[in-house]
Chains A and B, each alone.
Chain A
Amino acid sequence: EVQLVQSGAEVKKPGESLKISCKGSGYRFTRYWIGWVRQMPGKGLEWMGIIYPGDSDSRYRPSFQGQVTISADKSISTAYMQWSSLKASDTAMYYCARHIGEQQIHDGFDIWGQGTMVTVSS
């Protein structure tokens, strides 16, 4: 079964760092772009960025560039999203998702992780 399994919910304070993960299984992890999508409480979906685990090539939405870092460790089929200094406005559900087509950079997502809820509060 093709699936993405994300790390568990996090509660952090402003200014703290965080790295959440997304582990793929059931397919060739290195050959599909993986994306991250933010959903703030009660709001819609926002595309944040994507990474190709095969060579770690990445793209970011301009508003997220410099605010988060997307990475991948192909040896353990895991993608990551990290923050160096969290803000209260980072409170949201974060989803990872896989592109539909192998090696297709311009594509939609078919397989989604279950989501990781990040709460940032003092």
Chain B
Amino acid sequence: SYELTQPPSVSVSPGQTARITCSGDALPKKYAYWYQQKSGQAPVLVIYEDSKRPSGIPERFSGSSSGTMATLTISGAQVKDEADYYCYSTDSSGNHRVFGGGTKLTVL
């Protein structure tokens, strides 16, 4: 079955740039989506179609994709950005939709 691989954790100091990666064989052909989930809350879409930002999401959140890796970048990370982040995509057939395992971002 198709898998998306994320690092379990990323840690940065406030004001630094946090980068969270997501690798998958079909990412050269399929979009990546990124979700932020804070403790006890429903997920929130922060990036869609690799690099588009929904309305209401701060400009410090950006996305990119190159080859088999998609990256979520948080420029000038803030303590309030601490959360679990999940990438989401599909396999090359489009039939198998999966979330990555999640990355816990710590900002302190």
**B31 cross-chain contacts in A, Cβ below 8 A:** 108
**A105 cross-chain contacts in B, Cβ below 8 A:** 94
**B44 cross-chain contacts in A, Cβ below 8 A:** 112
**A115 cross-chain contacts in B, Cβ below 8 A:** 42
Q: Which of B54, B97, B99 has a CB less than 8 Å from the CB of A44?
A: B99
With A44-B102, A108-B88 as known contacts, state yes or no: A95 contacts B43, CB within 8 Å: yes
Give residues 46-90 of B contacting A (CB, 8 Å): 48-49, 54, 84, 86, 88, 90
**A100 cross-chain contacts in B, Cβ below 8 A:** 45, 48
What's the nearest-Cβ distance from chain A to residue B57, in Å?
Answer: 11
Give the size range of B's interface with the partner.
20 to 34
What's the nearest-Cβ distance from chain B to residue A78, in Å?
Answer: 18
Give complex CA distance A97, B43 in Å.
Answer: 10
Give the size range of A's interface with the partner.
20 to 34
**B86 cross-chain contacts in A, Cβ below 8 A:** 44-45
A54 at interface by CB-CB < 8 Å: no
Give per-residue flags for A94-111: 1 if the beta carbon is below 8 A from chain B beta carbons, else 0.
010100100001101110
Contact B99 A45 (CB under 8 A): yes
Q: Which of A45, A61, A106 has a CB less than 8 Å from the CB of B43?
A: A45
**B33 cross-chain contacts in A, Cβ below 8 A:** 108-109
Give complex CA distance A71, B44 in Å.
Answer: 24
A58 at interface by CB-CB < 8 Å: no
**A95 cross-chain contacts in B, Cβ below 8 A:** 42-43
Residues of A whose CB lies within 8 Å of any CB of B are 37, 44-47, 50, 59, 61-62, 95, 97, 100, 105-106, 108-110, 112-115
